[in-house]
Amino acid sequence: MSNIANSKTEYFSLSSISGMVESMFNEKFGNKLFWITAEISSLHIHKGHCYISFIEKTKGTDEIKTEIKGIIWLQNYSRINYNFKTITGIEIKENTKILFLAKVSFDTKYGLNLIVEEIDPSYTIGQMLIERENVVRLLKEKGYYELNKNKDFPLVPQRIAVISAETSRGYEDFREKLLTNKYHYKFQIKLFQSLLQGEKAGEDMRNRLIEIFNEIHLFDIVVIVRGGGGNVNLTCFNNYRLAEAIARFPIPIITGIGHTANISVADEVAFKDCITPTDVSDFIITKCLEFDNKLMNIFEKIKTRFNEKMTNQLHKTDNQMSMLISSTNILIKKQLTFNDTQFIRFVNSANIIIAEQNNKIGLIVQKITDKIPNYIKERLSIINSQKLIFRPIISNFMEHKIKLLNNRLYALKAISDKIFTNNKRFTDDALIYITLNSKKIIEKAEKNMILTEEKIKILDPVNVLKRGYSITLKDGKNIKSADMLNEGDEVKTILFNGEVKSKII
């Protein structure tokens, strides 16, 4: 053991060894300052001094490779912490990688320490950006990055789950803008309170998403809002577990987490990222307005199409009625003409028959008249002698001829009555047929009009107003866009129950 420096009788005290080490440090390092990178594993403040434990991990693992204690004295801590917070947005804290300027010190009582004189905030911001890019890269590798962006956005997003703090000004702005919108759209908002900054905020917001997922059927969208802040203050929104939960969530998520153009990983993977909470409100209201305008356009098209069809149907019905009336009149005229012709023919036939019979009777009478003088002269004596015999014979002959003539006249009258009765029955049947068919055509037209009225009732704007929508008019015209309104304009909003008059200010 030739490397033993002294003997047992010439031993060193502990303070002697410490003094030797201190002398060596002073000789080697003296009052020199060094820029050093390390991660803060623990930190506590005592009497204004900041006591830190610096570590370095083996690359790619959580195994601690080196650990050294450090101190920021009271006279420097306030200045360094203020400068760091002003630039990064956060105070010096655990689990933060920093680049600091320090003096290497060895004290015989307190051992090895790094006396921190300055911290470079830009290095910490750079480390945060590197970590952020690693989170984005991992999400893309696993195929999660675009999932929420590709979700179908609801036509009318009225049921909203909000992750925020009840005392957050951003949440108040979002809620106020949404509930007092000028279109009077109705929204249901449920707040899920969460931390919005700090080391535990990312995991806390992830837990709120789990709660929303368990009652997902109650919501159309999820909104995450808070006030603005510095870049590093968005660290919790770069948390991988939170970003993954947002990307894989089954309904669209909208973020509004800053008043500046800060873009976190949560913003990148969400369906829509807005700069401010009020921008989120405007986005939701605009989506509802777009649906409202589409609905009004459809209604106008239906109304126009209905009016066209109604007009065509009325023209068609009028034409059918005109044709029916014309056809009926023609048919009646034809039938009346037919009946008149038949009756005239009958009368003419009857007159001809009567005239023929009268001629026959006249001829018979003329023959009798012509023969009577000679017969009287020749038979006067006989007649006188046989007067009582011939008088009944002549009388009977004349009565027989008169009866025969009357019988023929009765027969002719019966034939005439039968012909007239048959023609009248035919005319009545024709009128009944025309009446029945006219009623059927009219009844069919009435049914078509009733069905058309039912369609009108279904498309009645009142039924749309019952579902919570409203119609805003200016000078009697529908307002489809805010661009149609100017300051000082007076508008009228029609609700299901009443109307409201407003003035644009």
Pair (351, 410) in one structural domain:
yes
Pair (347, 417) in one structural domain:
yes
Distance CA 231, CA 274 (A): 16
Helix 240-247, helix 121-141: angle, nearest 10: 40
pLDDT at residue number 357:
67
pLDDT values of the chain reduced to their tens digit, one per residue, 505 residues: 567 777 777 777 888 888 888 788 777 877 889 999 999 999 999 999 999 999 998 887 878 899 999 999 999 999 999 998 888 777 888 888 899 999 988 887 888 899 999 999 888 888 878 888 899 999 999 999 999 999 999 999 999 999 999 888 889 999 999 999 999 999 999 999 999 987 789 999 999 999 999 999 999 999 999 875 544 467 889 999 999 999 999 999 999 987 555 688 999 999 999 989 999 999 999 999 999 999 889 988 888 888 888 888 888 877 877 787 777 778 767 766 665 676 667 657 766 776 776 677 667 656 666 665 565 566 555 545 544 444 555 456 556 655 765 666 566 556 656 655 665 565 566 556 555 655 565 566 567 667 766 666 665 666 666 767 777 888 878 887 777 888 888 888 877 778 888 888 8
Residues 197/143, Cβ–Cβ less than 8 Å: no
Pair (122, 215) in one structural domain:
no
Pair (65, 183) in one structural domain:
no
Determine if the pTM surpasses 0.95: no
Asked if the structure places residue 52 within a domain, the reply is yes
Pair (94, 173) in one structural domain:
no
List phi, psi (to 5°) of 33.
-110, 145
Pair (266, 335) in one structural domain:
no
Helix 201-213, helix 240-247: angle, nearest 10: 20
Pair (314, 437) in one structural domain:
yes
Q: What is the CATH number of the domain that holds 183?
A: 3.40.50.2300
Output Rg (C-alpha) for the chain, integer angstroms.
58
Nearest Cα neighbor of 249 from 211, 297, 192, 275 is: 211
Asked if the structure places residue 441 within a domain, the reply is yes
Asked if the structure places residue 316 within a domain, the reply is yes
Residue where a domain terminates, one of 104, 131, 158: 131
Count, residues in the chain: 505
pLDDT at residue number 48:
92
Q: Name the DSSP letter for residue 54.
A: E
Asked if the structure places residue 139 within a domain, the reply is no
pLDDT in tens, 442-461: 566 567 667 766 666 665 66
Pair (151, 83) in one structural domain:
no
Pair (112, 151) in one structural domain:
no
Pair (378, 425) in one structural domain:
yes
pLDDT at residue number 227:
73
Pair (217, 331) in one structural domain:
no
Residue where a domain terminates, one of 254, 275, 296: 275
pLDDT at residue number 95:
83
Asked if the structure places residue 296 within a domain, the reply is no
Q: Name the DSSP letter for residue 73.
A: -
Asked if the structure places residue 402 within a domain, the reply is yes
Pair (391, 334) in one structural domain:
yes
97-107 and 64-72 strand pairing = unpaired
Question: Sheet containing 253-256: which strands, arranged edge to edge?
Answer: 188-193, 159-164, 221-225, 253-256, 272-274
Asked if the structure places residue 5 within a domain, the reply is no
Tell me the residue range of the domain where 120 lies.
13-131
**Alpha carbon of residue 284 to chain centroid:** 13
Q: What is the CATH number of the domain that holds 72?
A: 2.40.50.140
**Alpha carbon of residue 203 to chain centroid:** 35
**The total number of structural domains that make up the chain:** 4
Asked if the structure places residue 77 within a domain, the reply is yes
Nearest Cα neighbor of 57 from 44, 45, 41 is: 41
Helices and strands per DSSP (H, E), number in the chain: 10, 14
Q: Please, is 487 exposed, middle or buried when counting C-beta atoms within 10 Å of its C-beta (0-12, 13-18, 19+)?
A: exposed
